[in-house]
Amino acid sequence: MASRAMSAIFMQDSISGSMASDLIAGAETVIQEYFDLATRGRPLPDRHFSANGRHYQVTFHAAADRNGDVSEILLIVMDVTRRAQVEHLLRESRRRLIATARRDHLTGLLNRRGLDSVLHRELRRSRRAGKSLSLIAIDIDWFKDYNDSLGHPQGDACLYSVAQTLIGCLRRAGDEACRYGGEEFVLVLPDADIGGAATVAANCQRAIDELDIAHPGSPFGRVTMSFGIAEAAHGAGEASVALDAVSLLAQADSALYRAKRNGRNRIEFAQGG
């Protein structure tokens, strides 16, 4: 037996006499399972199914004959399409909110919160796989002078152009770029040793030179960048990932400031790299 409303779900005049499996693949197995549960006096959990682009929730109720044996299963179906759509929108909104919270509004790169998440994840992965992980800290040379002489709108335009150029230099899906703060950026390079990171840094340096952004306060006459590279140590345990992240950032930052002390527009490596 089936009500008219149930038949309408499957866009038929009547589904009385149809096999459950003719309507929903695998339904016959589910109904047999529910008969078994009801026979054993177990609760019958709700189920969900989709038909013709809509979503339904099903509740099951067992009916017994005079001898107390389960003879029928009554299915009550509720259209929950709207609820499913709202739940989907809420999940998507939450996902976008989290993604937005981890992105820098000006450049679109990861912000520091996003960097922490990615760096911790990739450190764990590198530990499990026994592979290298390198970090490149990058700073625009004499950027304060650039802002002071040309104004903040021009400075923002410069930051955006530099960010897009750095993204363009990352050729592998796992590589990530972050705006670490102000005019400083960080590149996370999974499965890259110090040599691979040096190649990426050199490509970035060349690409920034090719932008040829005029910088009246720089002795080079154009926007340049300094780079500091560090490679994660192998063999650290899972519990030390947070400390490893702090240490790796500090090493890359130290190499970056050595590059700035040594004349800027250059690449330096962490001590021992």
Check: CB of residue 218 under 8 Å from CB of residue 141.
yes
Q: In what order do the strands lie in the sheet with 54-64?
A: 47-51, 54-64, 70-79
- The residue type of 257 is Y
* Catalytic entry in 122, 176, 183, 231: 183
Residues forming a β-bridge with 54: 51
Tell me, yes or no, if 87 is annotated catalytic. Answer: no
- Compute the half-sphere exposure of residue 16: CA atoms within 13 Å on the CB side of its CA: 7
Alpha helices in 130-232 (DSSP H): 143-150, 152-168, 194-211
Rounded to whole angstroms, the Cα distance separating 256 from 103 reads 23
Q: Which of 48, 123, 120 is nearest to 84 (CA)?
A: 48
Provide the annotated active-site residues: 183
